[in-house]
Amino acid sequence: MTTDTGRFAGYGVLITGAARGIGAATATRFAEEGARVLVADADPEAGERTAAALRDRGLTVEAVACDVRDQASVEAAVAHAVHAFGTVDVLVNNAAHCTPDAPRFEDQAEEDWAADLDVTLTGAYRCCRAALAHLEASCRGAIVTVGSVNGLQDFGNHAYSAAKAGLVSLTRTLAGHAGPRGVRVNLVAPGTIRTRAWEGRDDDLVAVSEVYPLRRIGEPEDIAAAVTFLASRDAAWITGTTLTVDGGVTAVNHGFRRALDHTGR
């Protein structure tokens, strides 16, 4: 079943990397607001657990195995959504891969660089390519990609950051192409979010929170709220934009402030 009310009543939504973290929170938010949601993830067991938990609440959520590195897998996921829901109105590109940097840039393995770009940037390209005609046919299509502040400033992780920066550019260029087809394309750039990448690092999260003007790190639900806003008709005249959802961290130069504090100026 699904709800008959809510911003996304009757919508079909496909979310990649939706088994955990930001993806799972986004699936939950869409489903709670009436959407029929397909949880697409390279870990099908985890994806099914997320979908089953939402179905237990009476929400319409299905899961499918999807490896965004493989065009056939992506196309199968899109076809599953169309078959199950009759439409794909929203695509959320959330799948990503992040390889830790080598101590020296020149020691980074080329295969690690390629893996980050293949999943994070090219994976989103594959999903957009597979879904675009269906999004156009829905007459209310929207693509929302989950980027990162890493694509805007230096927070480390060379390959991941380059891939996320590429997503910012793809958002702009695809918005120009897709706009006349009735499809909006936007990106959310999160700051530090409490996900499994930070498991066991509570002290690090406390320390990191101090550089955020709002004095906390983000939660997956913070990003889900931004994604659903950009996908909704409330954002009907917004396309090609990058929305930073980062507690203000990219707005403040803490190094500069500390330097001035040190000099007493």
Query: Active-site positions?
Result: 160, 164
What phi and psi values does residue 218 have, to the nearest 5 degrees? -85, 160
For 247-253, the CB contacts below 8 A with 24+ separation are 247/191, 247/192, 247/212, 247/213, 247/214, 247/216, 247/217, 247/218, 248/212, 248/213, 248/214, 249/149, 249/191, 249/192, 249/211, 249/212, 249/213, 250/149, 250/152, 250/153, 250/191, 251/213, 252/213
Beta strands in 223-264 (DSSP E): 242-245
CA dist 106 → 27, 98, 204, 242 (Å): 39, 17, 27, 31
Nearest to 187, CA basis, from 141, 133, 237, 243: 243
CB 16 within 8 A of CB 43: no
Burial of 74 (0-12, 13-18, 19+ CB in 10 A): buried
For 105-111, the CB contacts below 8 A with 24+ separation are 105/158, 108/158, 108/159
Amino acid found at 79: A
